[in-house]
Amino acid sequence: MKLLITGTAGFIGMHLAIRLAYEGHEVTGLDNINSYYDANLKYARLAEQGIKKEDILYNKLLKGFENIQFIEIDLQDAGNLNALFAKQQFDMVINLAAQAGVRYSITNPKEYINSNIIGFYNLLEASRNFPIKHLLYASSSSVYGNATKTPFSEEDDTDAPISFYAATKKSNEVMAHTYSHLYGIKTTGLRFFTVYGPWGRPDMAMFMFTENILNNKPIKVFNSGDLYRDFTYVDDIISGVELIVNGSSSQKEMFQLFNIGNSKPVKLLDFIYAIEEATGIKAKLDFQPMQEGDVKITYASTDKLMKQYNYKPGTDLKAGVAKFVSWYKAFYKK
């Protein structure tokens, strides 16, 4: 299939582009390479796909490794986005481009309107005007807010997000539903649960904890460590998305939502213990109160994805953490 994957300078996008290209799909990656965090990490991810930093020019299509192309475009640029769709005639679009970060959304909400709402709208319009077979897009476990019923199920109420980031992800789901209903576009939203692994984002706990532990700096532990996250290793996430891509033609529903996680919530302190074990260094813990926008627990029910696509995450937490720490030490020469 001919695929457009947005956000391929990002964490999940890089892994997915490489996997699907390796499996024989024709992948065009798209990213705006913004400055939310160190752009050098983004360029390094693109290099893993055969895209050289010095060759990147805005709105120029580049050839990477086998079956991979890349173009720098911002989803807010509707004109160039539509021109790309008109020229390439994609079969499927996988939207992983978004302004990420729960805490950043509290102080910079407009960034989330521009990227997550306007950008997603432009993508929906392009998918309507230059018809595709299927649109997959990243939603988030954050749409469940501080739900007390666990595990979280796709049928649960999601009308009470507690961060603006979560509100934009909920909005994406509603927008996708409308386009499926009005224009017959098949859409599938993927509610990701705390993805971690090599090439991860610097604003995520896995990265920040490892960085500070290796540099003998204290790590901030919110709510005295009494938080639970459904940590999901990136390879398990990629395998789940791949199952949906390859089984797309069998999906009859025009609008679908899936949780994609590990279904095994881990206490934050136990996560830190795993990093300590992988680094061989005892962490200095700086206990902090609960932060605005944070949720106490994420816990995915993945029964729906397992039943429909045979999704089975299998990476042990300690093994996954060890792989991240090994990558981090090699990449940053620690």
* Overall pTM surpassing 0.75 (yes/no): yes
- Under a CB-based contact definition with an 8 Å cutoff, are residues 36 and 112 in contact? no
Residue 213 lies in a domain: no
Residues 6+ apart with CB under 8 A from 199: 11, 14, 15, 41, 45, 48, 234, 327
Residue 149 lies in a domain: yes
Mean pLDDT along residues 236-265: 94
Largest Cα separation within the chain, whole Å, is 56
- Residue 71: which domain range? 2-198+232-262+300-310
Number of domains the chain is built from? 1
Q: What is the pLDDT of residue 292?
A: 83
**Residues known to be catalytic:** 165
Taking the C-alpha atoms of residue 77 and residue 123, their distance in angstroms, rounded to an integer, is 10
Q: What is the pLDDT of residue 294?
A: 82
Residue 274 lies in a domain: no
Which of 215-224, 254-263, 288-297 is predicted with the least confidence, judged by mean pLDDT?
288-297
| Closest by CA position to 235, among listed 8, 7, 18 | 18
Q: What is the pLDDT of residues 129-173, one digit of tens each?
A: 999 999 999 999 999 999 989 999 999 999 999 999 999 999 999
Residue 306 lies in a domain: yes
Residue 90 lies in a domain: yes
Q: What is the pLDDT of residues 40-79, one digit of tens each?
A: 999 999 999 999 999 999 999 999 999 999 999 999 999 9
Q: Which two tokens stand for residue 76?
A: 């807010």
Residue 64 lies in a domain: yes
CB neighbour burial string for 72-96, b if at least 16 within 10 angstroms, e if fewer: bbbbebbebbeebbeebebbbbbbb
Say if residue 193's pLDDT is above 90: yes
Q: What is the pLDDT of residue 334?
A: 81
> Could you tell me the CATH number of the domain that includes residue 55?
3.40.50.720
Say if residue 85's pLDDT is above 90: yes
Q: What is the pLDDT of residues 173-187, one digit of tens each?
A: 999 999 999 999 999
CB neighbour burial string for 101-120, b if at least 16 within 10 angstroms, e if fewer: bbebbeeebebbeebbbebb
Residue 286 lies in a domain: no
Taking the C-alpha atoms of residue 307 and residue 154, their distance in angstroms, rounded to an integer, is 13
Residue 44 lies in a domain: yes
Torsion sign, CA atoms 146, 152, 153, 154:
positive
Taking the C-alpha atoms of residue 95 and residue 109, their distance in angstroms, rounded to an integer, is 20
Q: Across-strand partners of 95? A: 6, 137
